[in-house]
Amino acid sequence: MIPLALAAATILHADALAGFTFVEPWYFTFVAAASVALYARMGVYRSVIRFMGARVVIAIVQSVSVVTIGLVLLRWLLPSSALPVTVLVLFWVGTIFATVGIRFVSRTYLQSQHRPGERVAIYGAGGAGARLASALIGGQEFLPVAFIDDSTALHGSVINGVEVFPPDELPSMISELGITRVLLALPSISRRRRKKIIQKLEATHVHIQTMPNFSDLISGNARVDEIREVDVADLLGRDTVPPNEELLQTCTRGKVIMVTGAGGSIGSELCRQMVRQGPATLLLYEVSEVSLYSVEKELRELIDRESLGNIEIVPLLGSVCDKERAGKAMRSYGVHTVYHAAAYKHVPMVERNMMEGIRNNVFGTLNAALAAEESGVKSFVLVSTDKAVCPTNVMGATKRFAEMVLQGLQDRGAATCFCMVRFGNVLESSGSVVPLFREQIRCGGPVTVTHPEIIRYFMTIPEAAQLVIQAGAMSGGGDVFVLDMGDPVKIEDLARRMIRLMGLTVLSEENPDGDIEIKYTGLRPAEKLYEELLIGKNVMGTHHPMIMRAQEKRLPWSELRVLLRALEEALTGFQCARAREILMKTVEEYMPAAELIDLVWARQQSVNSPEKVARITTLSTQRKG
């Protein structure tokens, strides 16, 4: 192509000036050899043509410019065989067009030969959408065939060879263009706005997915073309309130922090949030070796990736039931604040293992709190749950008991500032319905819902962790903080929307040709149809719009100490009925919704007299009456 470009430049010059300039043969050899050498040097031949971008064009322009300058030098050194200036200019232009053009033609051909099987529309024709289209066009999995955008100024324009259409035309375009998927390229809009868009798209019955948000792109956790399922938080449509940086840093920046249960869903997110606030030392206290290894590895990578400075990460294996171990750790490192997230939280599991649930949730909290007090810890924050309000299960009753223990310790005059933060379910946590539903849909169903009327409050894990940290900074001692969870969500509706967002339909009597069946399995032992966040209505606001302070009944430490001693004796003697009686006496709102079903205790009773089982069942019935 390069010698032909020089010949074409000579001919064009002759036509323009009505005179032919003879070009010495060695000029052709020079331009070919010099151009090939420079192209090789500039990496032109190393580029993959199917993914060729602007860098290759720049390299070609630079190389041809150097060759043209070489011709100018030869023209000056050999005036007898000099090339006219017009020939040089035409050669420069022609060579660039020839070598760049052949590559673009080849790229177009190769991409047409590797046409992907799935045609998609991109919702959002801004910068993010354009980058997403560029990334997908060079691949084999998706082919962008249309942009969708709300801006009327963009309608009819073409971006990367793809036309922009208004949202109203999407239903007709799906059948006309064979669109099977809509990709959301709206990483910076509010959740409320995203929810409205998703609601419109649900009616199209195509698979709706999204590109990562800007924070993941900037941090390197995701690529532009890394397509994901729609975040279920977008279905809630609630915009998070920006955190109060002063509150976030009060108990964290430059401090020594301990997180118990650091490998769990909430505990690990607390750790992620805290390392971004610059603590001096972060102690990860966890009973599970696997979970401890995972969270330590993740945090160290996060610190390196985001250049968060010199933060000491200390992984500690240990149980909160071991007071001596916890206390030694706190004293050795001079812990300032403890975030107590260690607990057994799975309702049916704790119901079937009642004695261990009491040991871990009640006495684990007591031991950790006493260790903190004896070690001079300034602040102790308990991560609680909405299931502690009017509990019908052992898990909720033990968490309410744990709250009362901290309140009792505070009232008796503890130097440590004890408080607790109560909230509902968090999305994507271990045991949450969201990952369960997603996996069931991928496997073809059925999606299991316990009851058609069951509702729950939901919050994202990062938002919950940030609010826990901020609430802890506002405590004056003994406070029960309640997070604003927004509107409750009907679980059946959540399941239906997740099915529709994946481009599928619900199998039912009205729609026998549907894809995924929703199966009702019945409420699990001690499970409630809905959860409350408050005992009574006595609640006050704080200077944070998402955090409230509850005023609830508490027991004096003198009475709690007697109940704790009796409960400990019941645990030692494995007296399940007695332990449950003490839970019901301490937590007056506790109304068991199921018979006593501790698996080990029940096994023992099966070979002994059934009178004990009848006694506790009768007691439960009387309390309900």
Active site residues: 387
Burial of 49 (0-12, 13-18, 19+ CB in 10 A): middle
Secondary structure (3-state) at 489: strand
Alpha helix ranges (H) inside 114-187: 127-137, 170-177
**3-state secondary structure string across 98-125:** HHHHHHHHHHHHHHHHCCCCEEEEEECC
Integer Rg of the chain from CA: 34
Identify whether the C-beta of residue 498 lies closer than 8 Å to the C-beta of residue 442: no
Between helices 85-113 and 2-17, what is the axis angle to 10°?
130
Q: Which two tokens stand for residue 114?
A: 């590797």
Query: What is the rounded distance in angstroms from the CA atom of residue 475 to the CA atom of residue 472?
Result: 6
Query: What is the dihedral sign for C-alpha 171, 175, 177, 181?
Result: positive
Q: Which amino acid is at 349?
A: M
β-bridge partners, 80 = none
Q: Which two tokens stand for residue 321?
A: 């039931």
Query: What is the rounded distance in angstroms from the CA atom of residue 328 to the CA atom of residue 260?
Result: 14
What distance, in Å, lies between the first and last C-alpha atoms of the chain?
95
Query: What is the rounded distance in angstroms from the CA atom of residue 32 to the CA atom of residue 3?
Result: 6
Query: What is the rounded distance in angstroms from the CA atom of residue 510 to the CA atom of residue 508?
Result: 5
Q: Which residues contact 395 (CB under 8 A, 6 or more apart)?
A: 344, 345, 346, 347, 350, 351, 357, 361, 385, 387, 526
Q: Which two tokens stand for residue 119?
A: 């045609």
Q: Which residues contact 426 (CB under 8 A, 6 or more apart)?
A: 265, 266, 432, 458, 459, 460, 461, 464
Q: Which residues contact 122 (CB under 8 A, 6 or more apart)?
A: 129, 132, 133, 144, 146, 147, 148, 162, 182, 183, 185
Query: What is the rounded distance in angstroms from the CA atom of residue 128 to the CA atom of residue 144?
Result: 14
